[in-house]
Chain A
Amino acid sequence: MPRLLLFIPLVLFMILGGFLWKGLSIDPRELPSALLDKPFPEFSVTALQQPDRVLTKKDFVGKPVLVNVWATWCPSCRQEHEQLLAIAAQGNLEIIGLNYKDERAAAINWLRQLGDPYQFNIYDEDGMLGLDLGVYGAPETYLLDAQGKIRHRHVGVVTPAAWQEIQAIIKGWDSVKN
């Protein structure tokens, strides 16, 4: 029996090693949204291009949408713009813009110059909707289902790979329905 006790350190180390091994394939910086599978927060904020129009959640609930958090001060947002335009052109999924802590004139100008992939834009000037949504920087992209629940969050540039991941999730829903 005492001899077997001497194997305890080895066993403990092997368990530890297993976790460390697993750890190599996990990105500690990748955070899932705390609102995952929860409804998109309620809000009532003006539209970017129409300052007198007040937007609420009702404006996009009823069908799956992408909500894209962007700003003109964010260089990565420019990088993903082409991809967003391509998604909008395909027409399968609507994109709602959430203009985050930005200047209205600059943002409108940006859309005029680079093209506008968004159905409409929520103008979150002080970032309080962003805070409710758990945004910690731009760009971030959220996939909402028809009930307005957050089903996926992507942090950073929407790359073709990220877009494929989003499409795969939507396909998953369709197959469940059928």
Chain B
Amino acid sequence: MLSAAIDVYEFKDPEKEKRFQELAYELRCPKCQNQNLTDSNAEIAKDLRTKIQQMLEADKSNPEIIDYMVERYGDFVLYKPRVKPQTYLLWYGPALFIILGLISIAWILRGRAKKQANTTAEATELSATQTQQLDDLLHIKKDKKS
């Protein structure tokens, strides 16, 4: 477990070698703590790598190989979960949250714009003193204390 998995898979076709690396990177070793097939030295990971190599040499497509693994080991082996109702939150959540965030910024800005229209003069006047405000604040507190 402590040593990196290094073994030799020879491919005639460099394109297949690349696909092999991609697949072994995206599939999880079912027995390990949290490792993909590339990194794991476990017996089962070796078997699965061999199987991937055989399937690639037999001209199977990536989805076919992934389906083969999922049929036997379940969704657990996919480091990239499939998009289905159960994983909608996972896949679409981040985009949704960003949109929500940007909407709330727009909402805050709208509220401010309204207020600004009512009290433009006052706001500018306030801002002139604003830089001083903080230091004054600190002073006042100190005076209270001593």
Any A–B CB pair closer than 8 Å: yes
Residues in chain A within 8 A of chain B (CB atoms): 31-35, 101, 127, 130-137
User: Which DSSP category, helix, strand, loop or mixed, fits chain B's interface?
Assistant: helix
Q: Is B30 within 8 A of A132, CB to CB?
A: no
CB distance B31 to A35 under 8 Å? no
Count of residues in B whose CB is under 8 Å from the partner chain: 14
CA distance A131 to B47 in the complex (A): 8
B73 shortest CB reach to chain A, Å: 5
- The answer to whether A131 and B76 have CB atoms under 8 Å apart is no
A132 and B74 within 8 A (CB): no
B: which residues have CB within 8 A of A? 30-31, 42-44, 47-48, 51, 70-74, 76
Name the A residues within 8 Å of B51 (CB-CB): 131
Residues of the A chain whose Cβ atoms lie less than 8 Å from the Cβ of B71: 34-35
Contact A132 B72 (CB under 8 A): yes
Q: Which of A32, A34, A35 has the most CB of B within 10 A?
A: A34
Whole-angstrom distance from the CB of A38 to the nearest CB of chain B? 9
Q: In the docked arrangement, what's the CA distance between A164 and B66, Å?
A: 36
How many whole Å from B94's CB to the nearest CB in chain A?
Answer: 16
Contact B72 A31 (CB under 8 A): no
